[in-house]
Structure 1
Amino acid sequence: MTRARKALIDLSSTPYYHLIARCVRRAFLCGEDKYTGKNFDHRRTWLVERVKLLSSVFAIEIAAYAIMSNHYHLVVKVNRQHALSWSDNEVISRWYKLYKGSPIIDKQRNGDALSEAEQLLVSELVEKWRARLYDISWFMKNLNEYIAKEANKEDGCTGKYWEGRYKSQALLDETALLSCMVYVDLNPIRANMANNLEDSDFTSIQERIKHFKNTKSNSKKSNPNEAKSYVKQPKSLKPFGAREHVNTIPFSLLDYLELVDWTGRHVHPKKKGSVRKGIPKILESLKIEELTWLERGQNYGTYYGNFAGSQTVLRAHAAKNDMNWYKGVG
């Protein structure tokens, strides 16, 4: 049964969400169409650039992404407190980067005097825009409409481009967040579209590795440890850090890279015999058994439904929403 979006996105339970949108047209979102011979790789660039632009405007941070041939994955964090801290002028400035705005707001921006009723209307508009600027549905609407218009223009046609409404999955605890991010980052590996992480084009893991290597190379002369700092990670992606670092993903970047590489060697169709020995540090710290992790990693798409987390967390969240159970609870 389809659930209302407000029942799927609950910021009081978690700020982290896994988002998926799928193209319905045979002409791929990106990649090569074997029927026409056309290549649509440039549309990956459209999507990545648009995601980053929207993230800079909305209070929605990108933790992971993967752009596949006919669908894409995002892992995001909604930073509601950040949006609530914006001044009215900041909200207006951000909104005008994407939308036309309002005549009454234009009047205020031009320095014209406003009546008391007009000032009240301005306040109401600003609060409405503020709420939309940390709303996942508004984020996805802007992203998908933009890509659909550009693709339709290029294809010289009109009509439906996306499968329907995007799919969302609430990530209710740290293990769910970690599992989902690794699942997203390993999409090209699992699909046998890439042999290693650095060749996994249009993924967040490729972007993080390239940035880390460049930073490490440039910082050797000044400070050998500087490249390990979470501050030196890509500005367009939510940084890794530790629990003591405010507003970061609560894991070390190096530990995460180790985990993704180790997991990728297990799931890659051609590399299962070249797995490094030893369990990654993150799994040890979270007390996750190796077989349990790999089982969930390889079957993540079917293991959970609209919510991901431990059995305890899933049951508690289900009870909160007057449900007996959610998919994933044993």
Structure 2
Amino acid sequence: MTRARKGLIDLSSTSYYHLIARCVRRAFLCGEDKYTGKNFDHRRMWLVERIKLLSSVFSIEIAAYAIMSNHYHLVVKVNRQQALSWSGDEVISRWYKLYKGSPIVDRSLLGDTLSEVEELLKSELIEKWRARLYDISWFMKNLNEYIAREANKEDNCTGKYWEGRYKSQALLDETALLSCMAYVDLNPIRANMANKLEDSDFTSIQERIKQFQSSKANVKKPDQNETEPHIKQPTSLKPFGGREQEHTLPFSLLGYLKLVDWTGRYIHSKEKGYMSKDVPHVLASMKIEVTTWLDRVQNYGTRYGNFAGSQNVLRVHAAKNDVNWYKGAG
């Protein structure tokens, strides 16, 4: 049964969400089309560039992404508090980067004196725009409509480009967030589109690895006392830091890279024979069993529904929303 979007996105429960959208026509619209022989990889770059642009305008941060041949995955964090802290001028400036705005606001920007009623209307508009600038549905609408228009223009056709509304999944605890991010970053590995993380094109993990390698190469004399937070990370992605650091993902960058690399080596058919005896520190610190972790990442797409988390968290959230149960296992 289809659920109303307001029942799927509840910022009081979690600010992290997994988002998926899929093309409606023949497959490979964003990659190599087997029927026509045309390559559409440039459209995957359209998606990456648009996602980053929208993230810089909206108060929605990108934790992970993977642009596949006929669908894409995003893991985002909605930063509602940041949006509420913006001044009215900041809201107007951001909104005008994507939309035309309003004649009343235009007059105000030109220095015209507004009447009391017009000032009230302007304030109402600003608050409406503010709410939309941390709304996942507005973010996805702007992303998908833009890509659809550009693709239809290139194909010289009209009609649907996406199969339907995007799918969202609430990530209710840290384990769900970690496994979902790894699942998203390992998409090309699982699909046998890449053998190594470095070769996983159009993914956040590739972008993070390249930035990390570049950062290391630029350090002439590494300081042994230098801690991980000083490692440069992509500015367009939400940074890793750990629970101790505010405004970061609650994991260390090195720990996450090692975990995803370790998991990818097991998942990839050519390297299943290899399995390091050392359990990644992230799993040990979060008390996640190796077999549980591997099963969760490999079967993530079928294990959870619109909500992901431990059994206890899922039960609590279901009760909160007057639902008997949610699909998923902790």
TM-score bucket (shorter structure): over 0.9
Please give the alpha-carbon distance, in whole angstroms, between the structure 2 residues aligned to 1:185 and 1:177: 12
Q: Residue by residue, what CA displacement relative to the aligned partner does 1:105-155 show, whole Å, maximum 9, x if unpaired?
A: 000000000000000000000000000000000000000000000000000
3-state SS of paired residue (1:296): helix
How far did residue 182 of structure 1 move? 0.1
Q: Identify the residue that residue 63 of structure 1 maps to in structure 2.
A: 63
Q: Identify the residue that residue 173 of structure 1 maps to in structure 2.
A: 173
User: What is the correspondence of 1:140-289 to structure 2 with a 5 Å cutoff?
Assistant: 140-221=140-221, 223=223, 228-229=228-229, 232-289=232-289
In 1, are the aligned partners of 2:31 and 2:69 still within 8 Å (CA)?
yes
How far did residue 221 of structure 1 move? 3.2
In 1, are the aligned partners of 2:314 and 2:326 still within 8 Å (CA)?
yes
TM-aligned CA distance change 1:329 to 1:205, over 3 Å = closer
In 1, are the aligned partners of 2:212 and 2:231 still within 8 Å (CA)?
no
How far did residue 216 of structure 1 move? 1.0
Please give the alpha-carbon distance, in whole angstroms, between the structure 1 residues aligned to 2:260 and 2:41: 25
What amino acid is aligned across from residue 91 of structure 2 in structure 1? Answer: V
Please give the alpha-carbon distance, in whole angstroms, between the structure 1 residues aligned to 2:152 and 2:25: 10
Q: Identify the residue that residue 315 of structure 1 maps to in structure 2.
A: 315
3-state SS of paired residue (1:219): coil
Q: Residue by residue, what CA displacement relative to the aligned partner does 1:206-255 show, whole Å, maximum 9, x if unpaired?
A: 00000001011112336466683266210000000011110100110000
TM-aligned CA distance change 1:4 to 1:249, over 3 Å = same
Please give the alpha-carbon distance, in whole angstroms, between the structure 2 residues aligned to 1:27 and 1:115: 55
What amino acid is aligned across from residue 252 of structure 1 in structure 2? Answer: S
How far did residue 55 of structure 1 move? 0.1
TM-aligned CA distance change 1:178 to 1:294, over 3 Å = same
1:299 and 2:295 correspond: no
Please give the alpha-carbon distance, in whole angstroms, between the structure 2 residues aligned to 1:147 and 1:299: 29
Please give the alpha-carbon distance, in whole angstroms, between the structure 2 residues aligned to 1:262 and 1:255: 10
Please give the alpha-carbon distance, in whole angstroms, between the structure 2 residues aligned to 1:227 and 1:234: 17
Q: Identify the residue that residue 120 of structure 1 maps to in structure 2.
A: 120
Unaligned 5+ runs, structure 2:
none
Q: Identify the residue that residue 16 of structure 1 maps to in structure 2.
A: 16
Please give the alpha-carbon distance, in whole angstroms, between the structure 2 residues aligned to 1:306 and 1:112: 48
TM score, norm. by length of structure 1: 0.98
RMSD: 1.3
In 2, are the aligned partners of 1:215 and 1:227 still within 8 Å (CA)?
no
Please give the alpha-carbon distance, in whole angstroms, between the structure 1 residues aligned to 2:100 and 2:30: 30
Please give the alpha-carbon distance, in whole angstroms, between the structure 1 residues aligned to 2:167 and 2:126: 28
Q: Identify the residue that residue 130 of structure 2 maps to in structure 1.
A: 130
Please give the alpha-carbon distance, in whole angstroms, between the structure 2 residues aligned to 1:136 and 1:159: 24
1:26 and 2:26 correspond: yes
How far did residue 276 of structure 1 move? 1.9
Q: Identify the residue that residue 45 of structure 2 maps to in structure 1.
A: 45
In 1, are the aligned partners of 2:215 and 2:231 still within 8 Å (CA)?
no
TM-aligned CA distance change 1:158 to 1:230, over 3 Å = farther
Please give the alpha-carbon distance, in whole angstroms, between the structure 2 residues aligned to 1:48 and 1:195: 21
What amino acid is aligned across from residue 318 of structure 1 in structure 2? Answer: A
3-state SS of paired residue (2:24): coil
How far did residue 293 of structure 1 move? 0.5
In 1, are the aligned partners of 2:303 and 2:329 still within 8 Å (CA)?
no
Please give the alpha-carbon distance, in whole angstroms, between the structure 2 residues aligned to 1:221 and 1:162: 50
Please give the alpha-carbon distance, in whole angstroms, between the structure 2 residues aligned to 1:34 and 1:253: 38
What amino acid is aligned across from residue 147 of structure 2 in structure 1? Answer: I
Please give the alpha-carbon distance, in whole angstroms, between the structure 2 residues aligned to 1:87 and 1:167: 32
What amino acid is aligned across from residue 115 of structure 1 in structure 2? Answer: S
In 1, are the aligned partners of 2:91 and 2:130 still within 8 Å (CA)?
yes
TM-aligned CA distance change 1:146 to 1:87, over 3 Å = same
In 2, are the aligned partners of 1:182 and 1:297 still within 8 Å (CA)?
yes
How far did residue 326 of structure 1 move? 0.2
3-state SS of paired residue (1:170): strand
What amino acid is aligned across from residue 208 of structure 2 in structure 1? Answer: R
